[in-house]
Structure 1
Amino acid sequence: MLKPVDILMVGVGGQGTILASKVTAAAARAVGYDIKMSEIHGMAQRGGSVVTQLRLGEKVYSPLISEGEADIILAFEQLEALRWLPYLKPGGAIIINNQQIYPVPVLAGAAEYPAGIIEQIKDRVADVQVLDALKTAVECGNAKAANVVLLGALAKKLPIEETTWREALAATVPPRFLEVNNAAFTAGFNFGAGC
């Protein structure tokens, strides 16, 4: 029997959350999960929030995850991690890219980017993993592979074989980018190990 898993992927436009959700869905489908997915793009092309809700199970009826029900939050940016934290269930896990991307109000000087976000989250959640996905992706050969570094960390928490993830990655990523993405996935899967 496949254990149900609710995953919330949160980030900012341009960070590759959609690709990460497509690879996750492909890997989950390959092992027999029923999947429902919902994507929300809030001015994504201008650095706005992008949220993908992925629900995996034997049979899933709704794509939406209610507050307090996500098993895992995969956060591509610190402020988005904090913003969506109320959706994490008690005992859930959060994986955070330590990158900070300033939203328009901060860039315009109308607001300040909150300090100590990681510490605030660690005070409230026991299972927190923080990666420097951008730095790791650069070491692997392409900054745009930061999303796949995070995907590797997520893969470690799901009951899907590593080979299935790699097949899903190969089916989703253009062949010319596969080598760097495989390296990025390995680095995330080994939790922040370099390339």
Structure 2
Amino acid sequence: MTVNCILSGVGGQGTVLASKLIAQAAMDKGQNARTAETIGMAQRGGCVVSHVRIGDEIHSPMIPKHSADVIIGFEPAEAVRCLPYLKKGGVVVVSRKAIPPVTSSLGNSSYNGSEMIAYLQKEVARLIVVDGEKISKDCSSAKVLNVALLGAACASGILGLSMDELKNAISKRVKPQFIEINSKALEKGALAAKMTVPHHT
């Protein structure tokens, strides 16, 4: 069995670290894992998409369209942008808070993400919306959004990884002084997913 996971966000949100945590947890279980990134503008604010594939037979790290079991969207518009990758019946985990793209901030756009969330609610069989901003405040760090979303994805059951397996990966991949705060964010993300009423189209 192969698990295909797309993580989409903007530069500076920790998308790549999140993909490495998933891969680390899978490899620690003895599974094969491959990751690849496609990065837009090479700067903070540019779009970043990470592909993570876990399974016995993985010939390419890149996930074909209509094949992703889960999309973890660090930002609503970035989640929508990656929807063509999602397979029928797949799961989308998305942070509610919008980050206006560089181009719209120049044009004084009123984008706030709510239209994108509404679109996802119409198009996605299983949608988990996470209040990443609240979790970041609870953890006193804006840098834990990536791990909070991982916690939500883990709680959905789609990744095939346990919370303990992800916490172990955090202990290996994150600097010692940040392990506790990231473990807390993981728990809060999982709790947020469990409190989300499943949305079915």
Name the TM-score, length of structure 1 as normaliser. 0.92
Alpha-carbon deviation of 1:162? 2.1
Given the alignment of the two structures, is residue 90 of structure 1 paired with residue 91 of structure 2, yes or no? no
Q: Which structure 1 segments of 5+ residues have no match?
A: none
The C-alpha deviation readout for 1:112-134, integer Å capped at 9, x for no partner, is 63751111111111200000112
Q: What is the CA–CA distance in structure 2 between the aligned matches of 1:148 and 1:98, rounded to whole Å?
A: 15
2:143 is equivalent to residue 144 of structure 1: yes
Cα 1:193–1:138 change in 2 (3 A) is farther
1:178 maps to which residue? Answer: 179
Mean CA deviation greater in 108-117 or 125-134: 108-117
CA contact (8 A) 2:128 2:193 kept: no
Amino acid at match of 1:13: G
The C-alpha deviation readout for 1:71-130, integer Å capped at 9, x for no partner, is: 100000011011111110000000000111111221121866375111111111120000
CA distance in 1, matches of 2:183, 2:44: 28
Dislocated runs of 4+, deviation >6 Å: none
The residue aligned with 1:132 is 131
Q: Percent identity?
A: 39
Task: Give per-residue Cα distances to partners, 1:27-65, cap 9 Å, x unaligned.
Answer: 011112111211112124230100000111112110111
- CA root-mean-square deviation: 1.8
Unmatched segments (≥5 aa) in structure 2: 196-201
* Matched residues, number: 192
Q: Tell me the equivalent position of 1:121.
A: 120
Aligned position for 1:53: 51
CA distance, structure 2, for counterparts of residue 108 and residue 150 of structure 1: 29
Q: For 1:54 and 1:192, how far apart are their aligned partners in 2?
A: 21
1:34-113 aligned at under 5 Å gives the runs 34-109=32-107, 113=111
TM-score w.r.t. the length of structure 2 is 0.89
Does the 8 A contact of 2:2 with 2:55 survive in 1?
yes
**Cα distance change on mapping 1:161 and 1:192 into 2, 3 Å:** closer
Q: Does the Cα contact within 8 Å between 2:20 and 2:35 map onto a contact in 1?
A: no
Q: Quote how far apart the aligned CAs of 1:192 are.
A: 5.4
Q: Which amino acid aligns with 1:77?
A: E
